[in-house]
Structure 1
Amino acid sequence: MRFLTKPFLSMLLTLLIGIFSSHSVFAATAVASVSQNSVTKDEVFLLRVATNEKVSSGALDLTPLQKDFYVSTPRFGASMRIVNGSRTVSSEWNITLAPLRLGRLDIPSFDIEGAKTQPITINVAVNKAAPKQSDMAEFQLNLSKDSLYPQEVAELDVKLIIKADPRRLQDPKIAPPSSAKLDVEPIGESKQFQDVINGQEVTVVQQSFHISSQQAGQFQLQGPKLTGAVVYSTNNSSTTRLFQLDTPVETLDVTVNPVPKGYQGEWLPTSNFKLIQKWSDSQGNELTGSNALGGDKQNIEMEAGDSLTRTITMTASNLTQHQLPKLNITYPKSVRVYEEKPQFGTTQSGDAVVVYKQVLIPKESGSIFLPDVSQTWFNTDSQSQKTSKALGLELSVQASDRVTSSTPPPVIETPTQQASPTIVTVEKPGMWPYLAALFAALWLISSAFVFYFWSRRGTAVKPKQKDERQSDTAEALIAALKMKDGVKTRTLFEQWKTENSDLSDETLETIEAELTKLNQSLYAEVGSPSQSWDPALAIKAVKKPKRISNKTHKSTLERL
């Protein structure tokens, strides 16, 4: 034991201390810090997480933060420094956060490949100067009528007024009006435009809907809803805030009355129905004015073979175009009828209209009676049954030479005389039969060669693929991407997905990722890398989308 002297013990102790200290130096560590730990609701602050190891950007899991904070896409960077031969490696994340509720919120400990950070407590106070939902965006609803009958249609006009800068909107989503018992159908496409309301420049998104029901009862119509966020800052402060958009939903009560028990005939509920008739000759000249109810039938003289055009126009309020009744008229057999395809449309006041046109040609002389046209309907204003009527005509048809001459004369068959056969006798044919056989053989051989080369040429030609033309919605979506309009881009993208149900998941995920980057660029800090976003990748995906194979694709009906 004599060799255990003091110098030896000192050396042993120094060696052990060096081993443990070197282990502690090379151990992985992680640190989390915030720009401030006392904020007001909607106030944006920065979370920084760093480790002294080289790791991938996916090593940090931010999912636990999403229940209490709005979490932006993190900015990640890795670096390496060599000073006096000593190498230092670091990985760092910078994340923008905004509290979603009041009170004490915890940023939990993060585990980065074994290195753990310390939890952080954030105190969130009330922001007394915070704007209201109506200061950022609001809906204006206008229902044409709240008392209907089955199959009657009301119109709901929806206006979304966005008072904030639309470029500052983050991931906006509009939920359309809905109802469990009512039929809600959009009318055409939504419109977006700039307007000035009470001296303030705003963005307006306008859309109309048809509201109807097949059954009677008391129903509720839930209005639209806007969710998302708005990046803003107050005039007296440079602090950036993130306002959570969650507009209140307005509920509308709708009463659908039952069909009256005493009603007879075809059910046609409308507040206004018109049945207008016009007669015109073969030159287009009007023979009578608009049809008037009552009175005797008028008499018109014409020749057989002349044409008479009957035009009937039906107009109704609170109905769609295809709810208008079909025209079913039974004419005498002595009249030939040519009916054109019905023309549907909408008047300037929004009433549905359909035009029926029939060309009538009498085939025989004499008196011909053209029947009346009547339509039963229910007046929803007076709550009474009505009948509209268009009177027919009595035709005095005179015989016409044109009809007689136009009939082809009967064909009289006359017996044909049989031609007596002529017998030709050929004596000493000579060399002509051999020459004819030679030319015939050459013709057959040349025809075979032509057919062979023609068949090979046909197989070499490949059908050209048809160029896929861009729809109006796709072109509008591309234009919105170029303008970096967050609201319009999201609306058109949802419409484009509905029109193209065969899009592949890869295409949809690519565009969704690009829209996320677009939204991030709209509220990013000035000079940050995420502020500059290039729409080229999203535009390329819209122009040349990948689609599901036709063998597995099922076609869907177009929305009316």
Structure 2
Amino acid sequence: MVIHFIRLIALSTLTSLLLIQSAFALTQVTATVDKNPVMEKESFILQVIADDDVDTNALDTSPLLKDFIVGRTSVSSQTSMVNFNTTRTTKWTTVLIARTAGTFTIPALTIESLSTSPISLEVLKTSNQKTSASQDIFITTDVSSKEVYVQEQLTLTVKLHFAAELKRGSLSEPTLDGASITQIGKDKESDTIINGKRYRVIERNYAINPQNSGEFIIKTPVFSGEIISQTNRRSNFLSFADTKPVSALGEDINLTVKPIPDNYQGFWLPSEILTLHQEWQPDNESFMVGEPITRTVILTAAGLSEEQLPKIEMSVPSGIKVYPDQAELHTGMNNSKLVSQKKQNFALVASKVGTYELPEIRIPWWNTVTNKMQYAVIPAKSITITPNEDMANDKQNNNATNSTAQTIPATVNENEPLETKTVIVKEASWLQWLFLALWLLTSFAWLISSFNKKKKNTKTIKAVTQNSYKDLINACDKNNGEKALQLIAPWVAELFSNVNITTLEDAKHFINRTEFNQAVMDLQQCFYGKAAKNWNGNTLKSLIVDINKQPQNTQNQPITLNP
């Protein structure tokens, strides 16, 4: 009897579960948009609702990618009961942006075995700023130039305008194939009124350096976020503000990147203006022997990053020694253009009297305004070195002191006549010979120790160098010019481990071989010019192998003068 009763209960429970499952089966899927028509580049919301609790990954939005930019999708599920009547729903909210104007169809979207009805959507053309101002949020972009040379820097300005109250949001980075993009400074905030409507504006600037020539498209940033939507519900301390997801997209920009001109010679420097300036401390035409002289050379360029500025070198005639200091780099904005500056101090010390001719300092660059090769020049300068009386007096005093120290006066007694005594220096005794022998043994031991230490350090340096060296040789074997350009400076930096080498100009300076410098220039011309795919690494490889075998001379390395 008890067993029969348990069976009845189990059967009743199973029947109830089957009835509940059939009651909550998926029967309908609908799709709606929050606005129609919409503006070009304006975001709108697509909502898909299923009348059951289904898998949150059941909606596939990939069919929308053909005509729209698909933003963030949020999913929510809800269960409610009214008079013992239970309903369940699953809602997907997706932010879409129309790419271009026209009439488009949001295709049917399928969830399990049911599909939504297609939606015809009209997208209006954004003809002017007045039309954009009717939107609550939009993006404007401006570029300093739409036609630049390879490695020439251009500035992209992105402004996000919003009239609604933002709760949260993020702005993506612009993209350009084969280019380095860096944000300049911090975001700027301001207010403006467009067509009688007040907007809050967030401005962001980017520096773009295209590395390849050709036709490109700058993909502008996309904004995604949430705004606080207006509601008619009565506010109280328990209510929460309703939010609405939004997105905004700026206009893409067509960009033409021109290659390095065939007639250009030297380190490639494309700029609107490039100047050289010098300062002297003290600012005289005549200096004394041994007097320290500070010569400051300042290189300023518009449209170039500080990493692109070349090494400033100064040659001096015999009789003058030069001590270069660490270069100072500065970058800033001037009239919405990036301006970079390199400041190099040189300490000069003359050891001989005479008139000296300091050679001119000449740096080639390409004027992007006139499309001509120009030179930034500091003219040659003559300086006169005069005798230093203080140094001459010091020398005479030293000679007098040495002469006095060799004379040994006799003891004088006032009651006795003046008498001269002669001091006789005896020949070296056996103790002096013993000290000499010990000194020779010590010097010999020090030489052996220094030789072993130098040999050990040489082995260590060669072991460390092998990594960059092997990668560089491998890049030459594969004719990978881009990889080779990246590895040349690290390889030379490991050859000269006691100095700071960060650029190709530093590497060429320390190798100091004409054929190597020419091979690197050919690689730059080939990689950044028209024949970027025709570079052959055999010539550079043979030079690298030869240089890596030979011990490097450090006499030509720069000397840092401590303050």
TM-score (normalizing by structure 2): 0.51
Alignment match of 2:374 (pick from 386, 391, 396): 386
Matched, 1:180 2:177: yes
CA RMSD of aligned residues (A): 5.0
- Relative to structure 1, is the Cα distance of residues 130 and 144 closer, same or farther in structure 2, using a 3 angstrom cutoff? closer
Contact kept, 8 Å, 1:174 with 1:226, in 2: the verdict is yes
Aligned pair partner of 2:56 in 56, 62, 70: 62
- Of residues 174, 187, 192 in structure 2, which corresponds to 1:191? 187
* SS of alignment partner, residue 276 of structure 1: strand
2:363 alignment partner in structure 1? 375
Matched, 1:253 2:254: yes
1:410-421 superposed matches below 5 A? none
Deviation at 1:374, TM superposition (A): 1.8
Query: Could you say what secondary structure the match of 1:351 adopts?
Result: strand
Partner of 1:506: none
Match of 1:157 in 2: 157
What residue in structure 2 maps to residue 317 of structure 1?
A: 302
Match of 2:33 among 32, 41, 50: 41
- Helix, strand or coil for the counterpart of 1:64? coil
Structure 1 match to 2:214? 217
The letter for the 1-side match of 2:180 is: V
Once the two structures are TM-superposed, the CA of residue 247 in structure 1 deviates from its matched residue by 3.7
SS at match of 1:322: helix
What's the CA shift string for 1:503-555, capped at 9, x where partnerless?
xxxxxxxxxxxxxxxxxxxxxxxxxxxxxxxxxxxxxxxxxxxxxxxxxxxxx
Query: What's the offset of the Cα at 1:144?
Result: 0.8
Query: Shift of the alpha carbon at 1:341?
Result: 1.9
> How do 1:119-158 residues align onto structure 2 when only pairs under 5 Å count?
135-158=135-158
The alpha carbon displacement at 1:306 in A equals: 1.9
Structure 1 residue 328 displacement after superposition: 0.9
Q: Partners in 1 of 2:320 and 2:110 — Cα distance?
A: 87
Going from structure 1 to structure 2, the CA distance change for 1:66 and 1:261 (only over 3 Å counts) comes to: closer
Question: What CA distance in whole angstroms lies between the structure 2 residues aligned with 1:33 and 1:241?
Answer: 31
Q: Provide closer, same or farther for how the CA distance between residues 38 and 93 of structure 1 changes in structure 2, counting only shifts above 3 A.
A: closer
Report the equivalent of 2:512.
none
1:27–1:364 Cα change, 3 Å? same
Q: In the superposition, relative to structure 1, how do residues 200 and 332 fare at CA in structure 2: closer, same or farther (>3 Å)? A: same
Mapped to 1, the partners of 2:122 and 2:251 lie a distance apart of 26
Question: Aligned equivalents of 1:363 and 1:15: distance in 2?
Answer: 115
Counterpart residue identity of residue 399, structure 1? P
In the alignment, which of 384, 390, 396 is matched to residue 384 of structure 2? 396
State the structure with more CA Rg. 1
| 1:33-81 CA distance string (max 9 Å, x none) | 99x987741387987868xxxxxxxxx6322146499543447899xxx
Task: Report 1:227-306 matches (<5 A).
Answer: 227=224, 232=229, 245-248=246-249, 250-281=251-282, 286-287=283-284, 300-306=285-291
**Cα separation, partners in 2 of 1:254 and 1:21, compared to 1, 3 Å:** closer
Deviation at 1:19?
Answer: 8.3
Aligned to 1:176, the other structure's residue is in SS state coil
Work out which of the residue numbers 360, 363, 370 in structure 1 matches 2:348: 360
Q: C-alpha offsets along residues 248-307 of structure 1, whole Å, 9 cap, x if unaligned?
A: 4533222222333333333322111111122231xxxx44xxxxxxxxxxxx22221223
Partner Cα separation in structure 1 for residue 381 and residue 7 of structure 2 = 121
Matched to 1:374, the amino acid is R
- Sort the Cα spacing of 1:418 and 1:224 in 2 relative to 1 into closer, same or farther, 3 A: same
How far apart in 1 are the matches of 2:125 and 2:150?
43
**Does 1:336 pair with 2:330?**
no
Deviation at 1:237, TM superposition (A): 13
Q: Shift of the alpha carbon at 1:180? A: 2.0
Q: Partners of 2:231 and 2:278 in 1: how far apart?
A: 65
Cα separation, 2, equivalents of 1:373 and 1:99: 62
Task: Give the SS at the match of 2:58.
Answer: helix
CA distance in 1, matches of 2:58, 2:310: 60
What residue ranges of structure 1 are gaps of 5+ in the alignment?
1-13, 51-59, 79-87, 110-118, 288-299, 422-560
CA drift of 1:147 comes to 1.8
Are 2:30 and 2:49, in contact at CA under 8 Å, matched by a contact in 1?
no
Decide whether aligned partners of structure 1 residues 209 and 22 sit closer, same or farther in structure 2, where only a CA change above 3 A counts: closer
The yes-or-no answer on 1:72 pairing with 2:75 is yes
- With normalisation by structure 1, the TM-score equals 0.51
Hey, what's the Cα distance between the residues in 1 that align with 2:267 and 2:8?
101
1: CA distance between counterparts of 2:31 and 2:270?
59
Contact 2:270-2:365 at 8 Å conserved across structures: yes
1:24 is paired with a residue whose SS is helix
| 2:321 aligned partner, one-letter code | R
1:24 to 15, 30, 53: 15
- Report if the CA contact (8 A) 2:52-2:89 is conserved: yes
Moved more, 197-206 or 365-374: 197-206
Alpha-carbon distance change, 267 to 77 in structure 1, aligned in 2, over 3 angstroms: same
Does the C-alpha gap of structure 1 residues 28 and 229 become closer, same or farther in structure 2, counting only changes over 3 Å? farther
Instruction: Call closer, same or farther: CA 1:104–1:179 in 2, change over 3 Å.
Output: closer
* Contact preservation (8 Å) 1:270, 1:377: yes
Residue by residue over 1:452-486, the C-alpha shift from the partner in whole angstroms, topping out at 9 and shown as x without a partner, is: xxxxxxxxxxxxxxxxxxxxxxxxxxxxxxxxxxx
| C-alpha distance in structure 2 between counterparts of 1:258 and 1:274, whole Å | 23
Structure 2 unaligned segments of length 5 or more: list them. 35-44, 65-71, 96-104, 236-240, 407-424, 432-563
